[in-house]
A and B are shown apart, each in its own frame.
Chain A
Amino acid sequence: MSHEVPYIGAIMEAISLEMARDESVLYYGQDVAPNDDHDLVKAFGRDRIRVSPISETAEIGMAVGAALSGMRPVVELLMAEFMLVAMNQVVNEAPRLRYMSGGQVKVPLVLKAGFGFTAGWSGQHTGTIYGMFTGVPGLKVVVPSTAADAKGLMTTAIRDDNPVIYLHNYLLTLEHGDVPDGEYLVPFGQAAIRRQGGDVTIVAIGWEVGLALKAAEQLASEGIQAEVIDPRTLAPLDLDTILTSVEKTGRLVLVDQATRHGSFSSRIAADVAEYGFSSLKAPIKQVTALDATIPYSEPMEAFLLPDEAKIAKAVHQVLGSTPVAA
């Protein structure tokens, strides 16, 4: 049985179900239920649902401390870039403590934040910075692209014994989708093949998955069959599924809302270039945001970001028609 809810609703559904299932689950953050007639407050009380000051360092550090003593906090951080003011807690404390303690302690917590709000939010609220977390041993990074995954991955994130960065794309907030009723888990490290195809592999992350699928339909009308893969979790990354697909197609296009230089898609490109060397028939092409801060004005914003046309163009390039050299 399933029901239809918006992406954001699916996330809250998972949090609420887990809070009911396990009383060690906490949910707090800025502007989380400031008044008492909020459903979560009614259901779980003020102790477990808390509104906190604008103190990211303290909010996240507190979550680490609470996790060390047996809680499973979910911290609402609103926007991924706000984590930048608390990066020491995210990078130097949460993912390190288990390791440095020789495995004595564990730090089960979820840092929930929206990202990629490329809708006129200008330079400090639009960043797609998951690449910064994927290079940090000890952290797991989750980027759901559908309502069902949003629920299933949140459930898994809350039950995971490690710090998990749960990033939901703001542009997907109100996208409705079918979501399984009741308890629902999506395992980490398992990519989803959103569309089968034999000519080219497209790996897209978050919001870009939808764009890739639209582009794939357009290409299909030209007789090009694209396989579209959604990694769903970036750390751990399901490289096998990508490599298996590239073995079949020999061609890879990566679609990423982040800026190109030092991006996560560069990391996928590097892995495939190395481990899939013998299968590659053409250079891997990346369709990413251009290397600039996201500008405020709409035409400039659109110019920087990936779109269906750019994806289709890249596919044509790897299929050999147009020259590739950067």
Chain B
Amino acid sequence: MNSTETETTFVTTIASTLALAMRADEHVIVLGEDVAEGGPYTATAGLSEEFGRERVRNTPISEGAVCGAAIGAAQAGLRPVVEIMYIDFITLALDQLVNQAAKAHFMSGGQLSVPLVLRTQGGASGRGAAQHSQSLEAWLTHIPGLKVVMPSCAADAAGLLLSAIADPNPVVFIENKSLYFKREQVPSAPESLPIGQARVRRSGNDLTIIATSRMVSESLRAAERLAGEGVDAEVIDLRTLLPLDTDAIGRSVSRTGRAVVAHEAVRIGGFGAELTAQIQELAFDFLLAPIQRVGAPFTPVPLSPPLEDAYRTGADDVYAAARFAIEWDQPESSPFASGSFPAGAAGS
């Protein structure tokens, strides 16, 4: 383990880790819109100065071609780290990612590989409205051949980014803009963290909270509040969504018998559904209460501040879900509406 730590931010850590990887391997290149200028969030600041504008390339606003070019470059032996400025824009590169990157190794019978990292960021904050705030990771977890990483803190981000760059597969590395500028302790010489390993951020015996990205810190806050009420909650930070660390999840829920899964994406069709489906198979005989899912309501992200605040999931939602799971004893009418399709959706 690293002895020395420095205080820095998530976004600075991304830049310094990219620099680390580029120094270690000349095949690592960075491309994306404005990356040579540091990008809108400074996640690539300083790279073009150190490594030049050939290895750190500004691209036109051509997400499809840029992602495709990164795939081609990867198949031809480079290790591209491509940045898609907002995960909302991954829609413009989805064919390249799903139909090309994820399948090349398979369809070529193992001849090709695509050592590609696609960095992007999502999440609702800063009133970005419906086209700059989404959490679309659930799609990507449905694609065999992709790996999907969602770090919740700078230290993990450093270690996972190093692994992602070293990985022979296409890895989608999803950051959350609202984590970018928090100050955190980070190892001054980060080492790679294995992809596919969840981490217990708080151990407990009464309830398991499984969270991703921003919802990890929210869940820890909820856990503290629960602790004050004598409920001892375990908080698992998934860190990787695909491959999924089912052992860690199964072990914990089999012990606690109660589970809450929490993410920022919409509840309907969110990744929490996969987690719930997995848990009820892994730990059915141990379950003391229905698994609770915390996710955003089934609407696009609204702009208006009170609406966006209401839309964003947080510690209170996790707390409420946990209480529901804890207090569950007899079959009762479940909070049905929360899971069903919005009014008027049934159509004509």
Residues B106 and A273 in contact, CB atoms below 8 Å apart: no
Q: How far is the CB of B37 from chain A (nearest CB, A)?
A: 24
A138 touches B92 (CB 8 A): no
3 smallest CB-CB distances across A and B, nearest first, come from: A135-B269, A278-B331, A262-B142
Enumerate chain B residues within 8 angstroms of A122, measured Cβ to Cβ: 107
The answer to whether B298 and A87 touch across the interface, beta carbons within 8 angstroms, is no
The yes or no answer to B1 lying at the interface (CB within 8 A) is: no
With an 8 Å Cβ cutoff, the count of chain B residues facing the other chain is 65
Partner of B290, one of A90, A99, A269, A274: A274
Q: Which residues of A contact B274 (CB under 8 A)?
A: 261-263, 266, 270
Contact of B106 (CB < 8 Å), options: A156, A236, A292: A292
Contact of A271 among B103, B298, B339 (CB under 8 A): B339
- A92, B131: Cβ atoms closer than 8 Å: yes
In this complex, what residue of A is CB-closest to B303?
Answer: A100
Residue of B nearest to A296 (CB): B107
Known A259-B142, A293-B144; judge A326-B281 contact (CB<8 A): yes
Extra contacts, 9 of them, besides A261-B242, A277-B289, A293-B106 (Cβ < 8 A), are: A123-B106, A132-B142, A137-B266, A137-B298, A261-B144, A262-B274, A270-B273, A284-B281, A293-B144
B291's partner among A92, A236, A274 (CB-CB below 8 A) is A274
* B187 interfacial contact with A, CB 8 Å: no
Q: By the criterion CB–CB under 8 Å, are B107 and A269 in contact? A: no
Tell me, yes or no, whether A222 is within 8 Å of chain B by CB. Answer: no
A residues sitting closer than 8 Å to B (CB atoms) are 81, 84-85, 87-88, 90-92, 95-96, 99-100, 122-124, 129, 131-132, 134-138, 140, 156, 159-162, 185, 187-189, 235-237, 239, 258-259, 261-267, 269-271, 273-275, 277-278, 280, 282-286, 291-293, 295-296, 324-326
Q: Which B68-112 residues have C-beta < 8 A from chain A?
A: 88-89, 91-92, 94-95, 98-99, 102-103, 106-107
Check A135/B139 contact, CB under 8 A, given A85-B95, A96-B131, A266-B274: yes
Roughly how many angstroms separate A131 CA and B271 CA in the complex, as a whole number?
11
A239 touching B99 in the complex, CB below 8 Å, given contacts A99-B300, A136-B269, A291-B144: no
Complex interface: stretch among B15-23, B211-219, B340-348: B340-348
Is B246 an interface position by the 8 A CB rule?
yes
Residues on the A chain within 8 Å of B300, using CB: 95-96, 99-100, 137-138
Residues of A within 8 A of B138 (CB): 135, 262
**How far, in angstroms, from A77 to B30 measured CA to CA in the complex?**
35
* Closest-CB distance, A89 to chain B (whole angstroms): 8
**B190 at the A interface (CB under 8 A):** no
How long is the Cα–Cα vector from A258 to B142 in the complex, in angstroms? 9
Interface centre among B99, B273, B298, B340, by most chain A C-beta atoms within 10 angstroms, is B273
Q: Which of B99, B280, B346 contacts A269 (CB 8 A)?
A: B280
Q: Which residue of A lies closest to B340 (CB)?
A: A239
Q: Which residues of A contact B282 (CB under 8 A)?
A: 325-326
* A135 and B270 form a contact (CB under 8 A): yes
**Inside 8 A of B270's CB, which chain A residues have their CB?**
135
Q: Which residues of A contact B273 (CB under 8 A)?
A: 262, 266-267, 269-271
Count A/B pairs, Cβ under 8 Å: 194
B293 at interface (Cβ–Cβ under 8 A)? yes
B142 x A261 contact (CB < 8 A): yes
Q: Can you name 23 A-B pairs with beta carbons within 8 Å?
A: A81-B98, A91-B91, A96-B131, A122-B107, A123-B107, A135-B139, A156-B347, A160-B348, A161-B348, A162-B347, A258-B142, A259-B144, A262-B271, A263-B142, A267-B269, A270-B275, A270-B277, A270-B280, A270-B293, A274-B291, A275-B334, A292-B106, A325-B281
Q: Smallest CB–CB gap between A257 and chain B, Å?
A: 13
- Residues in B137-152 with C-beta less than 8 Å from chain A: 138-139, 141-142, 144-145
Q: Tell me which residues across on chain B come within 8 A of A99, comparing CB atoms.
A: 130, 299-300, 302
- Chain A contacts of B145 at CB under 8 A? 293
How far does the alpha carbon of A274 sit from the alpha carbon of B278 in the complex, in Å?
Answer: 13
Q: A258 vs B102: C-alpha distance in the bound complex, in angstroms?
A: 16
Residues of B within 8 Å of A325, CB to CB, are 281-282
Contact A270-B331, Cβ < 8 Å, known A132-B139, A134-B268, A326-B278: no
State the CA gap A293–B98 with chains docked (Å): 10
CB-CB under 8 A from B269, the residues of chain A are 131, 134-136, 264, 267
Quote the shortest CB–CB distance from A283 to chain B (angstroms): 4
How many angstroms from the CA of A271 to the CA of B277 in the assembled complex?
Answer: 9
> Bound state CA distance, A292 and B109, in angstroms?
12
Q: How far is the CB of B300 from chain A (nearest CB, A)?
A: 5
Whether A273 contacts B144 by the Cβ 8 Å rule is no
Within the complex, the shortest CB–CB distance from A318 to chain B, in Å, comes to 10
- Assess whether A270 is in contact with B144, with CB atoms less than 8 Å apart: no
Query: A87 — which chain B residues lie within 8 A by C-beta?
Result: 91-92, 94-95
Q: Is the CB of A236 within 8 A of B341?
A: yes
Which residues of the other chain, B, contact A285 by a CB distance below 8 angstroms? Answer: 281
In the assembled complex, B12 has its CB within 8 A of some CB on chain A? no
Let me know if B64 is at the binding interface, CB within 8 A: yes
- Chain A CB within 10 Å, residue with most, of B107, B276, B277, B300: B277
